Amino acid sequence: MTSSKQEMLNKNSFFESEQTFDNGIEEQVMQLFASCNQAISIEKQIDEITDSWSQDFLNAIDSNTNIDLELLLEKFTDSKIPVQPSNFESYLKYIGNNVVAHSIHTSSPRFIGHMTSALPSFVRPLAKLMTAMNQNAVKIETAKALSFCEREALAMLHRQIYNFSDNFYNQHIQNNLSTLGILVSGGTVANITAVWCARNASLGPKDGFLGVEKEGLAAALDFYGYKGAVIIGSDLMHFSFDKAADLMGIGTNSLIRIPADRNNRVDIQALRQTVVNCQAKNLLIIAIVGVAGTTDSGGVDSLIDIAEIAHQANAHFHVDAAWGGPLIFSEQYRYKLAGIEKADSVTIDGHKQLYLPMGIGMVFFSDPHLAGAIEKQASYTMRKGSFDLGKRALEGSRPGMALFLHAGLKLIGVKGYEFLINEGIRKTQYMAACISAMPEFELLAEPDTNLLTYRYIPKRFRRVHSINQLTDIDNQIINNFNECLQKSQRQIGHTFISRTTKKDIKFGSETPIVAMRAVIANPLTTEEDIRAVLNEQIEIAAKIQI
């Protein structure tokens, strides 16, 4: 058979198989992709429905519905994909009843227990636009203007952190060999990326050795004469550093966690001593981490001291400012981050205190060439010298989240963010004052920023508590009480506070303390909301029998 005949046959069988489709299906599927008038009118109808749901969702005061998790999960147990395309209206009804109805109202002013809160209204139309454009920020061939827009937005925040000269930014902002920052999906990937850059830079190619990137960790440590490698920070470091240690091949046991003091800051003396010990053992210090806003309590490490220790040890200094980074916008509170400008790398989350949608983390570098240590090329794209952002990113395909970052910085601006940060801290101080004035509660630490930890003290323990004479058994009972209180409040769904455990530094007790954790970042939360959350806890507590 000639090759052209074979081609014809192949073509025919292709056409035959194509024609076996039921016309109805073809029409229905193609309809889903259409941009014609009819499709636009359907889109408008859908928009009307989803807009009204969004409004109801956004106006909800309660943080949640009280549906039981067991009941909810039973709604999602179908593992079969429908054979036929479905009708959008019935699907919409389905997600309305099952997903939207039981989603958490993260924008509720009384949902004050996590780092996720209300978003500015401009992000919703931008989200629609971003989805319509469907840019892929991995390479210039799929994200043209957006790649430059992303670099510009990152440069703006870089400048807010490091404040280098005009000349520096002119030289690097759109220079494809320079990386001022990398936009990633969140703080976890940002921290991993920072540690990855630090590891590769300290074990790079030298004298014929091809570097850790090509030859792996064991060969690199051997070549450089190290007995092992560690990452050092406080015991309040986010668990993303466990992931980083695991992925870097050093194991989580090589993540050294130094106890924090009663103000939730790493003990500087202990850090200094640990660095000396690691050096004496001939261990490579991949990075020393300072935390600017711990996940548990918002504490900020003494970054100036850590910078000095890292500098003396010739170690990479990374600041995890995923939560607290935006304090750099506040003239009043920026001093708490003093030393951040000395960091080799800094993580900031856009989807926390920059009030942007989920999926925006960033890592910034003081040396615009450091990220070259992780650069990869691919023959089909991302060639050397190209502007492709995916060359120096852990992620491959990536949505155009830069649009939100750019919009947030341009529309809210330095003064707008300053207002948001200052307000969060002011309201946290208000809540701390309320707690201190109420006999039912104990404030567990003075808030450093806008996270607050406290607990409920049941009536029968209040006298012993007031004279600092709670026993470990008492604390255990109070722990059980607080756990029960937090779970009940969550289940009822009117208001929400999260829960954590803390070492009892205050009284030196061995028993870890179960703490309520408030995060006050939602601009819509008022003092009245704060009182409502505390009063609801008192009401629920009155019904708990432990």
Ligand X SMILES: Cc1ncc(COP(=O)(O)O)c(C=O)c1O
Residues near ligand X (CB under 6 A): 115, 186-188, 191, 238, 240, 291, 293, 295, 320, 322-323, 349, 361
Please state the separation of Cα 376 from the chain's center in Å.
25
Cβ–Cβ < 8 Å for 285, 278? yes
Minimum CB–partner distance for residue 359 and ligand X (Å): 9
Q: Of the two residues 258 and 478, which places its CB atom closer to ligand X in the complex?
A: 258
Q: Of the two residues 368 and 447, which places its CB atom closer to ligand X in the complex?
A: 447
Cβ–Cβ < 8 Å for 362, 348? yes
**CA dist 405 → 122, 123, 153, 154, 293 (Å):** 12, 10, 7, 8, 21
Cβ–Cβ < 8 Å for 102, 46? no
Q: Of the two residues 116 and 488, which places its CB atom closer to ligand X in the complex?
A: 116
Minimum CB–partner distance for residue 122 and ligand X (Å): 21
Minimum CB–partner distance for residue 299 and ligand X (Å): 10
Minimum CB–partner distance for residue 188 and ligand X (Å): 3
What are 25's two structure tokens? 């299906």
Q: Of the two residues 238 and 455, which places its CB atom closer to ligand X in the complex?
A: 238
Query: Rounded to the nearest 5°, which phi and psi values hold at 176?
Result: -70, -10
Q: Of the two residues 361 and 400, which places its CB atom closer to ligand X in the complex?
A: 361
What are 196's two structure tokens? 């990855």
Q: Of the two residues 142 and 191, which places its CB atom closer to ligand X in the complex?
A: 191
Q: Of the two residues 322 and 374, which places its CB atom closer to ligand X in the complex?
A: 322
What element of type H or E holds 436?
helix 402-437
Minimum CB–partner distance for residue 191 and ligand X (Å): 6
Minimum CB–partner distance for residue 327 and ligand X (Å): 13
Minimum CB–partner distance for residue 323 and ligand X (Å): 5
**CA dist 250 → 174, 198, 223, 231, 383 (Å):** 35, 13, 16, 9, 31
Q: Of the two residues 185 and 482, which places its CB atom closer to ligand X in the complex?
A: 185
Q: Of the two residues 240 and 479, which places its CB atom closer to ligand X in the complex?
A: 240
Q: How far apart are CA 24 and CA 40, in angstroms?
A: 20
What element of type H or E holds 454?
strand 451-456
Q: How far apart are CA 510 and CA 414, in angstroms?
A: 45
Cβ neighbors of 489 (< 8 A, separation 6 or more) are: 495, 496, 497, 536, 537, 540
Minimum CB–partner distance for residue 185 and ligand X (Å): 7
Q: How far apart are CA 198 and CA 379, in angstroms?
A: 26
3-class secondary-structure state, position 25:
helix
Minimum CB–partner distance for residue 502 and ligand X (Å): 15
